[in-house]
Structure 1
Amino acid sequence: MLHSPQFSIRNTLEPGDLGQVAALHGKVYAEEHDFGLGFEAYVMESLLEFYRAYNPKIDRVWVVESAGKMVGFVLLMHRPSNRAQLRYFILEKEFRGQGIGSILINEWIEFYQDRKYEGAYLYTSTGMDAAASLYEKMGFKKISEMKSRTYGVPLLEQYYELIPHQKK
């Protein structure tokens, strides 16, 4: 019988969190996708952009912790034209397949709806099949793909938009 790891989720940013998000992305993407150091640097730069615009009334973080360590993360960042961006969705391997990703994305969608955003989008790349499947289940649709070697390996960068359900 498999043991499900214990975890908790918090919605506050605390000192050290941004560095841990960058480190977690650097570690996981290097191990699982052969991304180079440039990817971690990109995450660090974009986290600084998020922090400078951070408004806890309209932005939200979900920090997944286990035994005092960050093991997962996602955030909703406000964007122009009352749109939201889903960013940094990540879980360490041992925490996948437990339903944690679904919890995070469901809570993300609830916050998005509560704040009455009019649109949402995200960027990802090929090879993130479990995440892409979850995005699609929650109403995101792949809009475009573009070949890239941005992080040292050939990949397809993908752009998804949240397609609202039709009201009857």
Structure 2
Amino acid sequence: MGKDTIVIREIEQKDNPKIAKAIRSVLIEMGVPKVGTAYEDVSLDCMTETYSHPKTRYFVLAQNEEILGGAGIAPLEHYEGNVCELQKMYFMPEARGKGLGTKMMNACLEFAKSAGFESCYLETMPYMDDARKLYKKVGFEFLEKPLGNTGHYSCTVWMLKTF
């Protein structure tokens, strides 16, 4: 593995401040509201702890000691059913357009299936075109209303993939 290689790996404690900074940076870049979105989630500052529970996992894009993005899987909150949620999938500009989104989606969805989930839910913003294209490409379909209650009331696009 070369020194400039970007790898997908599970989050480590040392990554917490780096992934929080990366996610907030991308959200600001995309013009996402700071309220009703992942921006204000307290979990952003303690991602390793947040994803240390059963049936949860968070992966980061790492290049040496730098964190360029990540994505996670966790049970969908406030929903009865065997559904997980794809959470906090954001990449810094230098990680985009390299096929890493598809690789990250595959890592997340493989984990979700191995954890026994029957489907995967996500929420996004209507103007995140590249993200929506990726989600469609891997089999997510649009929903007319949200599932569960994630607290992200500013996210108005809801999608689901059944395994």
TM-score class, shorter-chain normalisation, is: 0.7 to 0.9
1:17-96 equivalences under 5 Å are 17-31=15-29, 33-35=30-32, 37-38=34-35, 39=37, 41-45=39-43, 51-52=49-50, 54-55=52-53, 57-79=54-76, 80-96=80-96
Describe the SS at the equivalent of 2:60: strand
Q: Give 2:13's match in structure 1, choosing from 1, 15, 38.
A: 15
SS in 2 for 1:130: helix
Question: What are the Cα deviations for residues 118-143 of structure 1, in whole angstroms up to 9, with x where unaligned?
Answer: 22201111121111111111111110
Equivalent residue for 1:143? 143
**Contact residue 83 and residue 117 of structure 2 kept, 8 A:** yes
User: Structure 1 residues 64 and 145 mapped into 2: Cα distance closer, same or farther (>3 Å)?
Assistant: same
Aligned CA-pair RMSD: 3.0
The question of whether the paired residues in 1 share the 8 Å contact of 2:51 and 2:57 is answered with: no
Structure 2 residue runs without a partner (length 5+)? none
**TM-score between the two structures when normalised by the length of structure 2:** 0.76
Separation in 2 of the partners of 1:50 and 1:139?
28
**Which residue identity does 1:54 align to in structure 2?**
S
| Letter aligned with residue 140 of structure 2 | F
Distance 1:82 1:163, change over 3 A: closer
Q: Percent identity?
A: 21
Q: What's the offset of the Cα at 1:54?
A: 3.4
Equivalences, count: 151
CA contact (8 A) 2:20 2:44 kept: no
Partner Cα separation in structure 2 for residue 98 and residue 140 of structure 1: 21
- Whether the 8 Å CA contact 1:50–1:77 is kept in 2: the answer is no
Residues 31-64 of structure 1, C-alpha deviations (whole Å, 9 max, x = no match): 2x23354456523357769945732x52111111
Change (3 A) 1:97 1:120: same
Where in structure 1 are there 5+ consecutive unaligned residues? none
- Alpha-carbon distance in 2 for matches of 1:28, 1:106: 21
Larger radius of gyration: 1
Contact 2:9/2:61 (<8 A) preserved: yes
Residues 87, 95 of structure 1: alpha-carbon distance in 2 compared, 3 angstrom cutoff: same
